[in-house]
Amino acid sequence: MSLEIEDVEKLYKIVSTDTVIHALNGIDISLPAGKTLGIVGESGCGKSTLARLVTGLEAPNQGSITWKGLPIHDVNKGSFSTKKSVVQLVFQDPYSSLNPRQRIGDAISEIITVHNLVEKNMVETRVSELLSLVGLADDLKNRYPHQLSGGQRQRVSIARALAAEPSLLVLDEPVSALDVSVRAEVMNLLLDLRAKLGLTYIFISHDLAMIRYISDLVAVMYLGKIVEFGSWEQVINDPQHPYTQALIQAMPDHTVIGNPESLAKTLEGEVPDPVNLPTGCAFHLRCVKATPACAVEPQSLREISSNHLVACMEA
């Protein structure tokens, strides 16, 4: 009863320049049902690609993804009749994730009626139930998305995903576009829903503060690979990979104040072009601990303590 991602690779061919982007290079993850996996990394690390693969929007070039023993690609095709094993998705941008010409109520009821998830005469009740579940007033049903605030829209997106009665929810940067004061509320909502409905989450973010707050397991990604994997305490309180360490240092921290020295740069350079991946360890060009060997030998995850995996020879 878990999500199994095995040796997944994803390539994108760019026709106009005749090049290939290596978006994901051999991802292995095992996530027990009911747990939350946090995936953190900077833009271009492949975290959103992974979200698309896990929800079956795209197929991997290699490897397999299964949820509760079923290949993910079949999960969403035939599963609505059996009402189980459904994977759903919530995106970052609350503005583009709702059809601007569809009322909120219709957006939610559409899933229920198309897949006959409840009796016909119960649809309205179910929509109200879902709205109250995400903390929205019932009269929002008749509004259009542009009449809602960003936080409200994100709640609607969550309600819509829940309408499909999923057991696995992929959250791709769900609070990044929201105002600070609204963010906390949505995060609290996600915590409550997980407890109430027994959901499994994949929570994708560039913000380690949010990741550490909600995750049981954390995967750190860099250029299409997982460079560190473990429980949240292991990864965030005891990071072993130099990249994870740099990410944590770079986190804006409001508890440390008036200390300009804390701004001293920790990581040189920028993420290399995924079209021409560096040889050896992809991170060696920016790594403070890099040795000549790092430029030659590719690194793969190895267990440095119980269930704490790091892809670095120096760790």
Partner 1 sequence: MKNKEIKTKGALHYYLQSTSGIVGAVLVLIMVIVAICSIFGITPYDPVEQHIDNILQGPSAHFWFGTDDFGRDVFSRTLEGMRRSLTVSITAVSLATILGVTFGILAGYVGKWFDQLVTRVSDVFFAFPAILLALAIVASLGNAWYDTALAIGVVYTPIFIRVARGPVLTVKEMDYIKISRVLGFSSFRILRKHIFPNVFAPIVVQIALSLSWAILTESGLSFLGLGTQPPTPSLGLMVSDAQPLAAFAWWTLVFPSLFITIVVVGLNLVGDGLRDALDPARRSS
Partner 2 sequence: MTQPLLLSVKDLGISTVQDPRTLVNQVSFDIGLGEAVGVVGESGSGKTLSALSILGLLPRGVEVVSGSVTFKDKNLLTLNNEELRKIRGNEIAMIYQDPMTALNPVMKLGKQLLEVIASHGGINESSQNQVRALLSEVGIPDVNRAMESYPHEFSGGMRQRIMIAMALLLSPQLLIADEPTTALDVTIQQQILALVSEARKKRNMSMLWITHDLGVVANLVDRLNVMYAGRIVESGTVEEIFRKPKHPYTAGLLSSLPTSTGTNRERLTSISGVPEKPWLVGNSCGFAARCSRAQARCHSEVPPTVITDNSSVACFFPLGGN
Which residues of this chain interact with partner 2, rule CB under 8 A?
A: 42-43, 149, 151-152, 179-185, 187-188, 191, 206-210, 212-215, 232, 246-247, 249-260, 262-267, 270-271
Closest C-alpha among 22, 94, 48 to residue 276: 22
304 binds, among partner 1, partner 2, none (CB under 5 to 8 A by kind): none
Closest C-alpha among 68, 59, 64 to residue 2: 68
Binding mask 109-148 for partner 1 (x = CB under 8 A): -xx--xx------------------------------x--
Contact status: 229 vs partner 1 (CB under 8 A): no
On the CB side of 117, CA atoms within 13 Å amount to 24
Name which position in 45, 50, 87, 287 contacts partner 1 (CB under 8 A). 87
CA distances from 292 to 157, 182, 240, 281, 302 (A): 48, 47, 19, 11, 20
**C-beta of 111: minimal distance to partner 2 in Å?**
26
284 C-beta neighbours (distance < 10 Å), count: 21
The encoded tokens of residue 188 equal 């609290």
315 binds, among partner 2, partner 1, none (CB under 5 to 8 A by kind): none
**C-beta of 109: minimal distance to partner 1 in Å?**
12
By CB neighbour count within 10 A (0-12 exposed, 13-18 middle, 19+ buried), where does 58 fall? middle
For 64, residues 6+ apart whose C-beta sits below 8 A from its C-beta are 4, 5, 6, 7, 8, 71
The encoded tokens of residue 124 equal 């309205």
**C-beta of 9: minimal distance to partner 1 in Å?**
21
Contact 138, 130 (CB under 8 A): no
**C-beta of 74: minimal distance to partner 2 in Å?**
32
Q: Give one DSSP letter per residue of 224-264, joined into a string.
A: TEEEEEEEHIIIIIS--SHHHHHHHHHS--TTS-S-GGGGS
Binding mask 47-86 for partner 1 (x = CB under 8 A): -----x--xxx------------------xx-xx------
Name which position in 19, 30, 99, 307 contacts partner 1 (CB under 8 A). 99
**C-beta of 216: minimal distance to partner 2 in Å?**
8
The encoded tokens of residue 219 equal 């995967």
15 binds, among partner 2, partner 1, none (CB under 5 to 8 A by kind): none
The residue ranges that bind partner 1 (CB under 8 A) are: 52, 55-57, 76-77, 79-80, 87-89, 91, 93, 96-103, 106, 110-111, 114-115, 146, 157, 160-161, 164
